[in-house]
Amino acid sequence: MNIKPLFYRQEQVRLVWPLLLMIVLIMLGEMILVDPIGLFVTWLGFPDSPHAVEHEWSLVANDVIKRSIRSIVILLSLWVPLRFVMKQSFHSTGYKFQKWTAAQLALGIALGFIVQLIPLLLMSLAGWYSMEGWLWDFKPFVAIFPALVFSFIYSTETAIIEESIFRGFLMNSLNSRYNVKVGLISSSLVFGLLHFSGASNEFPWWLSLISATAGGFVFGQAYLLYGNIWTPLGIHFGVHFSARTLGTVGLSADEATLLVTHVDGPVMLVVTKAGGASLFELLGYGVVSIVMVIIRRRRILHSAP
């Protein structure tokens, strides 16, 4: 009995095996490194906080260490199957340092802020977004600095983990094995399904699924823009960091990083904390998508002989 087809397709290792290896390594990393180090840091006197945002340095230290270790575990869990199973360089994920890397990352961050600024503007015009004050109006001024560091680390970790897995690994692997359309659509659908929040909150389940898939499509579009991970990484970071600093989801003083805000209005329209991008956010993603199409066309025109 020939079992080779179970593991290989046209002399390439079937993608399911490096994916499974990556998942196993991530789980082992959590159990062997992230959780024990988190407990050790807590034992040293840096408590873990149940709050959404930490406003004390002792709480931030615990979170920074755990999230940093988790990011390293994710990157190592990608490197092992790439290097030893797929026989590819880690640079194939898009982590390439080039002349314009900083500019591409900055562009992504700016586009991520646009995703949140558009719904903020629309909610403000409709009277559904209001600023109740700055964080230091409710807490000691020094609380703002650990809160900003926490939000920065949280947004960075989320961007690194999700972009590395979904764009750097999954989408790139599908692109090379099939074509760009298959890679972009398939990775966006997987991204949407894994972000699906179900019917456990007030946000419509179908919009949760559509919005997460649309977000994945925009991140994939950003990956294709320059052929590396920096622009989608920046967009992903910008979306999360701007939501926390601008309070587009509505943040109490205990949750706020910079602005204490109140958000009201139809759940399908306004930015909410419940599982998915609202229609206003989808407009933001749509604008960003159009901007990237324009940038891509300009690049093609400038590179044409």
Give kind and range of the element (H or E) at residue 83: helix 57-84
CA atoms within 13 A on the CB side of 48: 13
Give kind and range of the element (H or E) at residue 27: helix 16-29
Predicted confidence at residue 204, as pLDDT, reads 77
Question: Is residue 256 left, alpha or beta, with left meaning phi > 0 and alpha meaning psi from -120 to 50?
Answer: beta
Q: Is the pLDDT of residue 243 over 90?
A: yes
Q: Is the pLDDT of residue 218 over 90?
A: yes
pLDDT band at 7 (very low <50, low <70, confident <90, very high): low
Token pair listed for 272:
């909410």
d(CA 258, CA 255) in angstroms, rounded, equals 9
Mean confidence (pLDDT) of the chain: 89
DSSP state for residue 170 in the 8-state scheme: I
The whole-number average pLDDT for the span 70-79 is 95
Tell whether 25 is covered by a domain: no
Residue spans of beta strands (DSSP E) within the chain: 8-9, 12-13, 129-134, 259-263
Say if CB 155 and CB 243 are below 8 A apart. no
The residue segments making up the domain with residue 194 are 96-303
Tell whether 275 is covered by a domain: yes
Predicted confidence at residue 24, as pLDDT, reads 96
pLDDT band at 42 (very low <50, low <70, confident <90, very high): confident
Tell whether 71 is covered by a domain: no
Helix (H, G, I), strand (E, B) or coil at 235: helix
The least confident of 11-20, 67-76, 103-112, 198-207 is: 198-207
Tell whether 256 is covered by a domain: yes
Say if CB 183 and CB 253 are below 8 A apart. no
d(CA 68, CA 156) in angstroms, rounded, equals 9
Tell whether 73 is covered by a domain: no
Tell whether 184 is covered by a domain: yes
Tell whether 18 is covered by a domain: no
d(CA 220, CA 189) in angstroms, rounded, equals 11
Q: Which residue is listed with tokens 């149940």?
A: 50
pLDDT band at 114 (very low <50, low <70, confident <90, very high): very high
Percent of the chain as helix, strand, coil, to the nearest 5: 70, 5, 25
β-bridge mates for residue 261, sequence order: 131
The whole-number average pLDDT for the span 145-171 is 94
Q: Is the pLDDT of residue 207 over 70?
A: yes
Number of folded domains in the chain?
1
Count the Cβ atoms, other than its own, within 10 Å of residue 200. 9
Tell whether 57 is covered by a domain: no
